Structure 1
Amino acid sequence: MSAKIIPRWSTERGNADHGWLKTFHTFSFAMYQDGEHDSFGSLRVINEDRVEASTGFGTHGHREFEIFSYIINGELEHRDSMGNKEVLKRGDVQLTSAGTGIRHSEVAHGPNQVHFAQIWTVPWKSGLSPKYFTRHFSDDEKKDKWVQVVAPVGAKDVSSDREGSGPAPVQSPVTLSATLLSPSTTLTHILPSPTTTEGKSSSQRKAYIHIIQSSGYNPSTASGASVKISGPGAELVLREGDGAYVLGTEGSELKFENTGNSVAEILLFDVE
């Protein structure tokens, strides 16, 4: 077993400051285009957004994407053409399966800025009916352990209920796990067996790691969390805002050690 861990440094991500919106793009998005970082398997967008109070993304359309928001701080008001209206808070995960087409808006609710990760994946087939799901995961649930917050339809513990417990159901071969890792604490993760998609299966596995940039917008002054990622024959230290591509084989073990002085909020995607 072996693994390659390839850094995606925060300072090299696409970014924009529109006043009302400060955003970083892991993959090509809007005016930021980078052929070396267009997507990773079915993972297409990871934007870390900060939206100022009483502003946001006005009503606009999407289709043929699975779109989910992972709320870090503040409150995000969601409205859509399916009749959903909801205010999302820290620990909430909201998933919109855009399918054949939806329109929605995302606006900072209340007096404070909202900080959230906006994530898009490519569905395993087109023409799906639009759907909407929300889940909540407390800080205590995520403390020093992995919690699956999004997982493929049909996977273990995945419910098709609009609200409920367990991971939100995504119609892509993607599993998102999250943790709040304390200083001097180590977690492991085993690269899982592949999901069989249209008869295709492989022992080669992909994962993507993202460290939430909790201490501020400017990556050059971000402090606190520092996480050492190690796998068979590979090692890398990431700070807030950094990410990494992982290429490995089924059963390879990854270790995550918080070598910094503050809690690290980590997102881990197993992708195909």
Structure 2
Amino acid sequence: MNRDNTPPPVLPAELPPDAPRGFMARFRNYFLTGLVVAGPIAITFYLTWWFVTWVDGLVRPFVPIAYRPETYLPFGLPGSGLIVAVIALTLLGFLTANLIGRTLVDLGEKLLGRIPAVRAIYRGLKQVFETLFSGQGSSFRRVGLVEFPSPGMWSIVLISQAPSEEVANNLPGQEEHISVFLPCAPNPTTGFFFYVPRSKIIEVDMSAEDAATLIMSCGVVQPGSDGQKKVAALAGMAEAARVANSGTLQPEAAKVE
């Protein structure tokens, strides 16, 4: 109230300071919202398509022409090679489970074991596949932090198994060591493998999938973040811009009338 008891003038409602204005601001928000929604879907479909065509290219030459779908269809059928590969691997596992298949596999392993160069590669790959796909054990299923590459700097590692007796006996100190794999960003398939004392590892309550996502995104996507919330936030900003611009245009429209 003023001194003459006149009420203060009513000011128009001010827009939030963070509300973007103008056509370009709305265009930017809409574009970012569409990019956040369509980007992951497009990349997922692209990687799936690449994998399917890659498997088709490997399997199709082994399939007789009479059994290929394109022989009877006017177009190729993507994924036919992948279906054949899945069926073939399932049959191979079924045959290996019985006595005859087990005997044949043992015979093949003995033949490969007599080749010096191939023996080490085959045994190493077999142990890796048995560990990763057996569904047992905890290799690369636990995530930890290790002080690397210098004191005060911490890196995410995937915890593997304890070293063998031969390696453990040659490691310095009396403390138990553990083997870890430190993936590199943004390609987690490459990295460093080393042994570290168990007390130097800080185990983190995080899944291996979340750790891989964190590494591939170089820290942009943090564990526990919800992508849908980000999309909703961008959509909210776009809606706020639309409302703000429509609100500023209403007085002008009233004047014209």
> What's the TM-score once normalised by structure 1's chain length?
0.21
Q: Which has the higher helix share?
A: 2
Which structure is higher in strand share? 1
